[in-house]
Structure 1
């Protein structure tokens, strides 16, 4: 998996692209939704196998989960902006699986669970896989993960965010 920082930064960037109002509540929901799929690691403590549909990178990483979760949140919090909320939350939640499918470890992502249990990686696996434990994250492995995410997640996100800021500033001049 990518780290919580990488997932959060992508969701923040998606929310800034999709919502011109910079709604803090929507940003919070987007970041939370991007991190949420990894709660499936608790299934290990219940003896659920990694490759089980409810295992790590299973249903909570699927397209269907992203859709259902986003519909629920958009309905509850979206008020008169349900479409914007749904789109940003769907893309933020789905981005989790996409980033994980670009990592160097794990057993793939179950994008199509519950319809099909296969696990997938993208052909380009550039992001160093993050350790599951906090203690392991504060190690040489964790440093390699952060450097990898800086290169493949943070720099592209910052370029997008700076571009959005420049465009927004330029549009306000007129």
Structure 2
């Protein structure tokens, strides 16, 4: 898996797509939660759930259906009034993108069993052909090691630089619209 830092940074970068009428700490905080939450499945190890099971790591909670369900839930719980307006579509797309980005980043890592993107309809696990991100160890004690340092360095290149580029582009786009108005 990618680290929580990469998942959180991706959600934060996506949040910069919004103009001031929707952008808030609440918005990007919920986006970061959506981006990190699929890894709740690691708790299954404590309960004897095997890695490759439906509820195992990188299983259903990494699927596109889970991203859809979580996005609808977040919108319903935190943005119910805005869901009736056009803004609701953008909020749903944002939370869906944040949640789905988790599986996308994990499918670009060098380890694991792949991602069950289509679960529960198809539980096949997939990786992308291009897998430059070092897989992150599970557990804080293992993360703060030489392995964790390699993970952070690969994520700086493959997630940090694109996220910074995206933030800069959205900043320029937003400012170009301000200057025209």
TM over 0.5: yes
List per-residue Cα deviations over 1:7-36 (Å, max 9, x = no partner): 00111111212x212222111110000000
Partner of 1:94: 100
Structure 1 ranges of 4+ moved more than 4 A = none
Give the deviation of 1:167 after TM superposition. 2.8
1:52 partner SS: coil
The answer to whether the 8 A contact 1:101-1:125 is kept is: yes
1:74 partner SS: helix
Give the deviation of 1:118 after TM superposition. 0.7
* Within-5 A mapping of 1:127-166: 127-166=133-172
Partner of 1:67: 68
Give the deviation of 1:142 after TM superposition. 0.5
Q: 1:83 aligns with which of 89, 95, 108?
A: 89
Give the deviation of 1:40 after TM superposition. 0.5
Distance across 2 between alignment mates of 1:169 and 1:67: 31
Is 1:168 matched with 2:167?
no
Instruction: Compute the TM-score of the two structures, normalised by the length of structure 2.
Output: 0.92
The answer to whether the 8 A contact 2:71-2:96 is kept is: yes
Distance across 2 between alignment mates of 1:82 and 1:160: 23
* Within-5 A mapping of 1:31-46: 31-46=32-47
Give the deviation of 1:171 after TM superposition. 3.2
**Alignment size in residue pairs:** 173
Distance across 1 between alignment mates of 2:161 and 2:28: 20
List per-residue Cα deviations over 1:86-141 (Å, max 9, x = no partner): 11000000000000000000000011111111100001011000010101111110
The answer to whether the 8 A contact 1:74-1:83 is kept is: no
Instruction: State the Cα RMSD in Å.
Output: 1.1
Partner of 1:2: 2
Distance across 1 between alignment mates of 2:176 and 2:78: 31
Q: Which runs of 5+ in 1 are unaligned?
A: none
Mean alpha-carbon deviation: is it higher for 20-29 or for 141-150?
Answer: 20-29
